[in-house]
Amino acid sequence: MKKKEAKSFNITKENVKDILGVPIFQRQEIEKDNLVGITTGLAWTEVGGELLSIESVKVRGKGKVTATGKLGDVMKESVQAAEFFIRSKALSYGLNPIDLEKNDIHVHVPEGATPKDGPSAGVAMVTSIVSALTDIKIKSNVGMTGEITLRGRVLPIGGLKEKLLAAKRGGLKTVLIPIDNVKDLVEIPNNIKDQINIIPVDSIDQVIENALVQSPQEISVLDASKLTPASDTIISDKANISH
């Protein structure tokens, strides 16, 4: 029986697609430009870390916040927590509380076929909504992870190593992490830490300061030039979240 001679060949970036075929999975990439309402969160999955794009848009309405993108219960709660936190801090972010009742916010997490859940997208949710409401752009090369409280604290998360690997792979230059996760940085390889500017934060205000291209200008409740008379609008105390 005649033996066939083995052939050798080199695998390169140029020919790997011809050998393996069209990629089955496409990695999430960061936006090239600074945009309003679009943040890059970091998620942990069973196969490693992934970038998580979160989009928010403002439209005329009645103060409702809705969310789509096959979100799990925990992530829906993050949207709700983000809404009530922003309402409580409206003046600090230059937002007229009465105007908030005249606009709806829709939050969308793309790739709707993929279930998404977990609390660590809270900071990205808040940043996306604040950007949409203030029309201030978000830095496209900044990623973030962290859970939020109604007082604006940023709580620690899990899977930091996988998330930072995803950040490096996706081209992020800066990543905001909870200050309580600083202890976990000892487990991160130096070649990752040397290429990413890792900024620990303990409050949403610090996240906003580092993520937006400019900080919102606080307004005073006594600033009559920026506030609409209460008689023009009826403010409802009811929660306006729907999913």
List the CATH number of the domain containing 198. 3.30.230.10
CA dist., res. 142 & res. 138, Å (int): 8
- Selected residue with higher pLDDT from 211 and 19: 211
Q: Are 89 and 79 in contact (CB under 8 A)?
A: no
Crossing angle for the helix pair 204-211 and 122-134, to the nearest 10 degrees: 60
Q: Considering the domain boundaries, does residue 108 fall inside one?
A: yes
* pLDDT range class, residue 238, cuts 50, 70, 90: very low
Q: Considering the domain boundaries, does residue 243 fall inside one?
A: no
What is the chain's mean pLDDT, rounded? 84
Q: Considering the domain boundaries, does residue 46 fall inside one?
A: yes
Cβ neighbours around 66 below 10 Å, total: 15
Q: Considering the domain boundaries, does residue 21 fall inside one?
A: no
- State the average pLDDT over residues 68-86: 90
Q: What are phi and psi of 138, to 5 degrees?
A: -105, 140
Q: Considering the domain boundaries, does residue 210 fall inside one?
A: yes
Give the domain extent around 194: 26-217
The model's pTM is 0.80
Q: Considering the domain boundaries, does residue 19 fall inside one?
A: no
Q: How many domains does the chain have?
A: 1
Catalytic residues: 120, 163
Model pLDDT for residues 127-160, shown as the tens digit of each residue: 999 999 999 999 999 999 999 999 999 999 999 9
Q: Considering the domain boundaries, does residue 235 fall inside one?
A: no
